[in-house]
């Protein structure tokens, strides 16, 4: 524990504290867990290394999560589309999912995670994929077509204010602000 503290420079630690919602201990723990994902020879400069997506998905916090691929895609800043994450991406992710993140930030990123086709709105296909993620991946665990139709109809009725058949960011944030469970469920703590 003391070793990892000396590996992360103090100015970087202070800067990360200012730029994220994480506390000092949480950043150090994140650093430790991140360097454990790297092979031994790369652990020295963990701050600049990138971890491939397959390694990130071995984290217990992500391995059971049905949105794991979307999370990696949204938070990764890798230019070549391989969804690898650097340490700063990892910190960004933990910051959004931390206890002290604001509702605005959480709802903004939730919108991006749920936007499967990345067109800036949640349309029917996005909502269908979302419900499939929630109910499980097997064939027998999907809702029937009629049930899915009824469910999506209800969701759009509740959240689509301008009645255009899709949910945009403002409508999503509006409906999230009235959702009592969102803050407690949209949380990952290492």
Partner 1 sequence: GGGGRVPCCAPGRLPAPQPPCFLPLAEVFLPEETHGAAPVDFLQQLPSYQSALRRRATAGGGTQERRAAPQGPAGLRAAAGLGPEEEEDQVAAPTARECPLSMAEKRRLRVNKQADVKHLSGGKQWRRTSSKSLKKVLSEVKEFSSYLKLWRHDIHSIEGKFGTGIQSYFSFLRFLVLLNFIIFILMFSFVTLPSIIAKYGMFNSSFAKIPPKNIEPHCTVYEPSGNKGLIYFYDYLKHLLSGTGFLEETSLFYGYYTIDATWISIVRYNVPLAYLLATFAYLALSLIWIISRSLEGFKQNLVHAEDQFQSYCNKVFAGWDFCITDPNAARLKHRSLRYELQTDLEEERLKRKIADRTTKEKLRIYSLRIFINVIVLAVLLGCFYSIYRATFFSQENSNGVSNMNFLVNLLVQYLPSIVITTANIVAPQIFSFLIRYEDYSPAFEIRMILCVFLRLASIGVLLFSLWSQISSCNTDMCKACGYNYELYPCWESQVGQEMYKLMIFDFIVILAVTLFVDFPRKLLVTHCSCKLLQWFGLKEFRISDNVLEIIYGQTICWIGTFFSPLLPAIATVKYFIIFYIKKVSLIHTQKPAARPFRASSSNFFFLLVLLIGLVLAFVPLGVSIAHIPSSKACGPFRNFNTSWAVVPHTILEFPKPLQQVLYGIASEAFAVPFFMVICLVMFYFIALARAHKRVAEQLKEQLAMVRFDPLFCTPKVFFVSVIRHAGKQQFS
Q: Find the binding residues for partner 1 in span 62-81 (CB under 8 A).
A: 63-67, 73, 76-79, 81
Site for partner 1 in 26-45 (CB under 8 A): none
Pick 44 or 162: Cβ nearer partner 1: 162
Q: Note whether 180 binds partner 1 by CB under 8 A.
A: yes
Q: What is the maximum alpha-carbon separation in the chain?
A: 58
**Stretch (H or E) spanning 182:** helix 182-185
160-169 burial: b if 16+ Cβ within 10 Å, else e: beeeeebbbe
The window from 3-11, 30-38, 49-57, 160-168 that contacts partner 1 (CB under 8 A) reads 160-168
CA dihedral 121, 160, 184, 136 (to 10 degrees): -70
> For partner 1, which residue of 8, 37, 51, 130 counts as binding (CB under 8 A)?
130
E strand intervals along 73-134: 85-86
Min. distance of Cβ 175 from partner 1 in angstroms? 5
Pick 40 or 163: Cβ nearer partner 1: 163
């Amino acid at each position: 524990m003391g070793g990892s503290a000396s590996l992360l420079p103090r100015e970087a630690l202070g800067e990360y504290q200012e730029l994220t919602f994480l506390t000092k201990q949480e950043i150090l723990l994140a650093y430790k867990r991140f360097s454990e994902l790297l092979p031994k020879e790369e652990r020295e400069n963990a701050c600049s290394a990138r971890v491939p997506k397959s390694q990130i998905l071995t984290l217990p916090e992500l391995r059971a999560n049905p949105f794991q691929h979307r999370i990696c895609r949204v938070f990764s800043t890798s230019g070549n589309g391989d969804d690898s994450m650097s340490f700063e991406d990892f910190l960004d992710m933990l910051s959004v999912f931390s206890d002290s993140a604001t509702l605005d930030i959480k709802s903004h990123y939730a919108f991006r995670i749920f936007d499967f086709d990345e067109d800036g709105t949640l349309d029917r296909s996005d909502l269908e994929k979302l419900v499939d993620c929630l109910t499980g991946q097997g064939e027998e665990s999907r809702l029937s077509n009629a049930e899915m139709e009824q469910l999506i109809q209800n969701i759009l009725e509740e959240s689509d204010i301008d009645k255009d058949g899709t949910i945009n960011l403002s409508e999503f944030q509006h409906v999230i602000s009235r959702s009592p469970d969102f803050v407690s469920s949209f949380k990952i703590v290492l």
